[in-house]
Structure 1
């Protein structure tokens, strides 16, 4: 069954944010999106309402919708929240992971390695976020997993706004070490490695950097028809 067009719009914008192609502060004009996705503005408004609920889009009265611009304090708060939530989801993953889950994690690591080998930063960023989301799902707490999905998406915005170059891409072996600790059922070590990993990501963010400009929405979002 084909996805509803509103879902396609939401997914396209979320993917562009996760890939750091769509930068904070970018205006998401209703008419521009309507033209790009060949739909009416009511459908665009519903999609933007969904994105606002994710807290990655701000709707400003009489000005329209913009990709949210987190402040440095927002960034610190988000990473603090991630450390709190992911400590629990990692513990749960150690306790709940099945053999199939470990296989899924190792397959994900292989995808990450392939993206890095191709020097494909957008894919590497998306897959890095996906690793944390996958851990949340393996932890078998859907409430925490949902919060984590939102926080990792907001983290992608922060990285896109404040980071440069390879500063916040994961070190090659950090995810692999976490998976090995989970496979050994070493709860304390898995949690220690995850906390260290998140602090490494945060330490690569420079809050005095100026975000690069985003191009036209049509160029950023590409051909949504696939």
Structure 2
């Protein structure tokens, strides 16, 4: 069984963690919050300067993020926040339909009261984040809902596979949704849980399929050409000068 997946960060990492782990969690969180958007270039030099780390440490962090599906490592060009194309997006959502239908099938007859309560609490937090205008937290909670369902299904390999797909497809959700369009809507999540509560596997599968179809329709606003890496990672301006900028070449 693969190691337990790293949870999506919902709060700042503790102050006493190793620098390499801090970089990983900071960048992971910034990507999942859309502060670092699809197509953004991550340079080893800039990250090394921000965290005071040698390039070989930065490379290890980028390799971990690549394994998560959040970063693409391009030979002779560097590391970029993953920016799936239309065909890949279609393939990923097609695979998610298959995997999450299986999750629904497993949970329809086995979801415990404790599991149901935990999912309800997660949806309530998601709704609250949306109502308060906390988009970064809302995006992370929306993604985490799908991972928690997979965990409750009890298949570690499925969790690991689905987590990578959820993380990568989360990058496709636009930062510029029009009014009334809610990517990974908490209302759609609630409909899935209602079906599971009623032990109606067919209805749960139908609700999840409809939800994923809606997610697939809320596609990507591409990364801006210019961005501030330090600000995106919450590190502020460098000593003695304005923050540098990078753009995809």
- Asked whether the two chains share a fold, i.e. TM above 0.5, the reply is yes
Task: Give how far 1:160 is off.
Answer: 4.3
1:67-216 alignment, distance < 5 Å: 67-160=81-174, 164-165=177-178, 167-205=181-219, 210-213=222-225, 215-216=227-228
Q: Structure 2: where are the runs of 5+ without partners?
A: 1-13, 237-249
- Change in CA separation of 1:171 and 1:64 when aligned onto 2, cut-off 3 Å: closer
User: Do the aligned residues in 1 keep the contact of 2:123 with 2:186 (CA within 8 Å)?
Assistant: no
Give the deviation of 1:99 after TM superposition: 1.5
Provide the rounded CA distance (Å) in 1 between the counterparts of 2:141 and 2:133: 13
CA shift digits 1:11-61 (9 cap, x unpaired): 222221211111122111112111222222221111011112223212222
Q: Residue 9 of structure 1 aligns with which residue?
A: 23
CA deviation after TM superposition for structure 1 residue 96, in Å: 2.9
Q: Secondary structure of 1:95's partner? A: coil
Q: Distance in 2 between matches of 1:85 and 1:213?
A: 35
Q: What is the SS of the residue equivalent to 2:72?
A: strand
Quote the residue 2:34 is aligned against: 20
Q: CA deviation at 1:173?
A: 1.8
Mapped partners of 1:82, 1:158: distance in 2: 14
Over the residues paired in the alignment, what is the CA RMSD in angstroms? Answer: 2.1
**Aligned residues between the structures:** 221
- Partner Cα distance (1:201, 1:212) in 2: 22
Return the alpha-carbon distance in structure 2 between the equivalents of residues 99 and 136 of structure 1: 16
Does the Cα contact within 8 Å between 2:69 and 2:165 map onto a contact in 1?
Answer: no
- Which secondary structure does the structure 2 equivalent of 1:96 belong to? coil
Query: Unaligned 5+ residue runs, structure 1?
Result: none
Q: Say whether residues 1:217 and 2:222 are aligned partners.
A: no
Q: Shift of the alpha carbon at 1:168?
A: 4.6
